[in-house]
Amino acid sequence: MPPRTAPVLDLNRRSAPARPAASPPPRRRSGLSKGRVAAGLLLLAALAAVLWFALRPSPGGSGRKSGPWIDFSGVPPAMRPVVEFLHPSPAEARLWFETIRTSTYVQQKWADLADSVAFAYRPDDDAVNAFAGFADGNPAKPRIVLCGGMVRAARLIGAVSLVRASAADQGTEKDIGFYLKRISETVSESGGLSSGRVVDLLNEFEVGTGVFENVAAVSEAKATADGICKAVLGHEMGHLACGHSLGADPNRTVSKNEEAQADLFAGSVAASIANGRQMLEGQILQWYVLALGETRSPGAERLRTHPWSADRLRAAVFANKDLAASLGIDPDEVDVLVREAKSAAEPRTDP
Ligand SMILES: [Zn+2]
- Inform me whether the pLDDT recorded for 5 exceeds 80: no
Domain membership of residue 304 (yes or no) is yes
pLDDT in tens, 132-173: 999 998 989 999 999 999 999 999 999 998 888 888 888 888
**What is the whole-number distance in angstroms between the Cα of residue 303 and the centre of ligand 1?**
16
| Contact between residue 279 and residue 273 where contact means Cβ atoms under 8 Å apart | yes
- Rounded to whole angstroms, the maximal C-alpha distance in the chain is 63
Task: Please count the structural domains in the chain.
Answer: 1
Domain membership of residue 1 (yes or no) is no
Domain membership of residue 288 (yes or no) is yes
**What is the whole-number distance in angstroms between the Cα of residue 36 and the centre of ligand 1?**
42
What is the pLDDT at residue 61?
Answer: 39
The percentage of the chain sitting over the pLDDT mark of 70, rounded to a whole number, equals 77
pLDDT in tens, 6-40: 333 443 333 333 333 334 333 333 333 445 555 55
> Which parts of the chain fold into alpha helices (H)?
34-55, 63-66, 80-86, 90-101, 104-116, 148-169, 177-190, 195-204, 215-241, 252-272, 276-292, 298-303, 309-319, 321-326, 334-344
**What is the whole-number distance in angstroms between the Cα of residue 159 and the centre of ligand 1?**
25
What is the pLDDT at residue 210?
Answer: 86
**What is the whole-number distance in angstroms between the Cα of residue 101 and the centre of ligand 1?**
17
CA atoms within 13 A on the CB side of 298: 0
| Contact between residue 95 and residue 151 where contact means Cβ atoms under 8 Å apart | no
Domain membership of residue 193 (yes or no) is yes
Domain membership of residue 350 (yes or no) is no
Domain membership of residue 322 (yes or no) is yes
Which has more confidence, 326 or 78? 326
**What is the whole-number distance in angstroms between the Cα of residue 249 and the centre of ligand 1?**
12
Domain membership of residue 2 (yes or no) is no
What is the DSSP annotation of 266-290?
Answer: HHHHHHHSTTHHHHHHHHHHHHHHH
**What is the whole-number distance in angstroms between the Cα of residue 41 and the centre of ligand 1?**
37
The parent domain of residue 180 ranges over 7-345
**What is the whole-number distance in angstroms between the Cα of residue 26 and the centre of ligand 1?**
46
**What is the whole-number distance in angstroms between the Cα of residue 346 and the centre of ligand 1?**
29
**What is the whole-number distance in angstroms between the Cα of residue 235 and the centre of ligand 1?**
6
Amino acid at 2: P
**What is the whole-number distance in angstroms between the Cα of residue 252 and the centre of ligand 1?**
13
- Inform me whether the pLDDT recorded for 188 exceeds 70: yes
Q: What is the pTM of this model?
A: 0.83
**Max avg pLDDT among 76-85, 151-160, 186-195, 326-335:** 151-160
**What is the whole-number distance in angstroms between the Cα of residue 247 and the centre of ligand 1?**
7
- Inform me whether the pLDDT recorded for 104 exceeds 70: yes
Please state, in angstroms and as integers, the Cα–Cα distance from residue 217 to each residue in 15, 177, 205, 220, following that order: 20, 19, 18, 5
**What is the whole-number distance in angstroms between the Cα of residue 214 and the centre of ligand 1?**
35
What is the pLDDT at residue 56?
Answer: 55
| Contact between residue 218 and residue 210 where contact means Cβ atoms under 8 Å apart | no
**What is the whole-number distance in angstroms between the Cα of residue 217 and the centre of ligand 1?**
31
Residues 83, 328: Cα–Cα separation, whole Å: 32
- Confidence class for position 75, pLDDT limits 50, 70, 90: confident
**What is the whole-number distance in angstroms between the Cα of residue 131 and the centre of ligand 1?**
7
What is the pLDDT at residue 72?
Answer: 75
**What is the whole-number distance in angstroms between the Cα of residue 126 and the centre of ligand 1?**
18
**What is the whole-number distance in angstroms between the Cα of residue 309 and the centre of ligand 1?**
12
**What is the whole-number distance in angstroms between the Cα of residue 240 and the centre of ligand 1?**
10
- Confidence class for position 67, pLDDT limits 50, 70, 90: low
**What is the whole-number distance in angstroms between the Cα of residue 106 and the centre of ligand 1?**
17
- 121 bridge partner residues: 146
Residues 6+ apart with CB under 8 A from 3: none
**What is the whole-number distance in angstroms between the Cα of residue 273 and the centre of ligand 1?**
21
Domain membership of residue 213 (yes or no) is yes
- Inform me whether the pLDDT recorded for 45 exceeds 70: no
pLDDT in tens, 276-326: 999 999 999 999 999 888 887 888 888 888 899 999 999 999 999 999 999
